[in-house]
Structure 1
Amino acid sequence: RNAARYASNKVKHPLKSHRDLCVLYSGGYYLDPGLPEARKYLLKLYKELIEKYDFDGINLDYTRYPGDKFNDASSFKAYNPGKLSRDDWRRANINEFVAQLHDMAKKVRPGIRVGSAPIGTYKNVDKYKNATSYFSYQQDPCQWIESGHHDFIIPQMYWNEDFGFTPNMVTWVNNSCKHPVVVGLAPYKLVDSKWDVDVIIDQIEKTRRTDGVAGVCFFRAEHLLGNNPKIKRLYDALRKDVFNRPAHLPQFGSNKAPSPRNVKAEYSNGGYVITWDAPRNCDVRYYSVYLTDDKGVRIDQAPDDIVGFKVKGNSFNYRSSKKGLKFAVTAFDRDYSESDPVYVNRGKEKSKKHKSKSDSDNSDERVYVDYDFL
């Protein structure tokens, strides 16, 4: 049915152009991951996309086998020289594709991020009998992380505690090799499974208390923005209470953007004007301005301190009747990596020079300035 919708397209649906790569399973057609030509076909499509469009990342969904009864007998016979078991051979096929995709993507666009949204249970956890990514669908995202072919994972944690939400979340964190884990949540179950709004709110609070969880992701938009009364209650709770401050994307790896230079601030006419120069040798995406104190600011844990979220220019106005406020400014590069903060404080002018690890290839030094602007 879906293939028929594209009958008039110049580029034909794969069921028409590559019928030999497709397998009928449970009423639908799937590309057979066991066929080298199927993997090559997908890699060619991904390469065309990231060459032509400035994507920040690739998040793989359904990169797995659709079920145990998938009819891949012919490819299993033809492309299994190592005589692996069916499950191990299937996992090896998916592993190979993910590795090839990652390496190709990084070669074409080095700063691109590659990750996936696997099934919400990795392997069997405790007493629960959930379908698993590893055994049920021959999907091994923890191997993709361990082998260096993933930057993040967004497991589909569409369970409540009856199905082990918390132990499954902890299992993903423990197997993520310290890569960002973004927990996928299921607001659609407020409608489909009659969950209460508090289930989703409680799950968000649990992710925030769990070290190693970098954030949450929702499936899907219509169950955040729809007209259902329960969905509206969830949206209002998220907007007013849970996400009432801006937050930046999770940091990937240890690289940092170079810091802005010559940061200054002046107070006049009921407000502050904070200015700075762009860092050297950096394609800046935007800057952030933080309200801080004598102890400094933890930029990875300080959404409440952001007063200028995504500042595109080299200055920021902050209206306040309070004199003596203190600020910090950071820069973000094209890969969304944030720099160390540069502080602007009331007091005697002095500077501390700090060589950034991310700038070891040039002589630019980071300067932390206490600037007397009152």
Structure 2
Amino acid sequence: MLVQIIRIARLNHKLVIVCSGPTTTSRKSHLQKITELVTSIIRETIIISEDMNPIILTAGKYCCDKSFKSSVGKKKRKQFIFRLIEIINAELRKSKFLSSYVSKGDLVLFLGIYQPLSLIIVKLRQGLPIIFGGGFDVTRSVAGNKFLNALYFDFRWVFQITMLKIFSKIILESKSVRDFYNLEKFDKKICYAPLHLPSAFTLTNSLDQRDIDVAFIGVLSKEKGILEFLQSCNILKNNNVGIKITIWGDGILKNEVKQYIEENTLSNLVQLINFVGYSEVPKLLNRIKLVVIPSYSEGLPNRLLEAMACGASVLATPVGGIPNIIKNGETGFLLKSNNPEHMAERITELLNKPELLEKVSITAHNYVIKSFGYEKTLEAWRKILSELNA
């Protein structure tokens, strides 16, 4: 566990940020943005994370003098009862660890809702204001029979709902995120504060300098529409559309994605790559002409805003907060559905209109830079933390 301590004369309180759950590119992005904001507001910030790569933390000094490493989650295939015992044991140890960093008058910002028992214990012991800053998880991750798997899922969800009731404030990026997770019952606790785009996410390459025609970026799971995207790639191949496609991600369907590419001889058209380091993301996005987001459901995806900031046009399904950002034909393009034939048709149409892609990419870039700039988001976070600090 890495602990980052940053001392800046700001609001006269200490903020302890607890990052819960596995590290992904999306989580690194989320943490970096919040870190840049709160270190400009709070006198002292301590970031506690189980497996965070320090490259994403851009300010302050790192120290690992009080390391804590949980073994929970390292072995995925475990029966429910053994995993439950592991979780409880790890959470009891983690609560002791967290207690050594927090004291009366501190604020606690929780990112993620993985194994929250430790924060419940800290809340009951010390009565600190606990803020939820995003990062839900309702996935099923225990192998075995369906009954135990469902029981484990329900067990985690009960904890997550309990935590939402304990939080003093719930900070969400938009109302679409609230609606996506059905959090209307917590409206009195919810505050809206968008996250800014780090300055590294900017437009550096024009359309004719980009060598990747189409990209899928994200978790390789059914709800993200990766299977439909693969089918659209196969249609493009059969239609002899000579383009370069990149699938950039990881997830439970990775082997299925590899198998589909091999069985349908798509390797000359489609390249599958793992997530790169977060610092490399802007460079990759500046190589892409068109990012496709064929999800069945979304909140407000980071990759949407980051792609737009880097001048990659976005073609997406109109779900979650996406229609609030993409105005069809102005700041991006909306799909009617993630039907493979429809996707293939739209991809072909847009790649044959480079002038339109260039125009929309510039408009989208200007829009997100203005709407999600640092100063605007800083003021929203300052207001929320100041109220808790009063």
Same fold (TM over 0.5): no
Larger radius of gyration: 1
Query: Normalized per residue, which structure has more helix?
Result: 2
The TM-score with structure 1 as length reference comes to: 0.29
Structure showing greater relative contact order (alpha-carbon pairs closer than 8 Å, 6 or more residues apart):
2
Query: Normalized per residue, which structure has more strand?
Result: 1
The TM-score with structure 2 as length reference comes to: 0.28
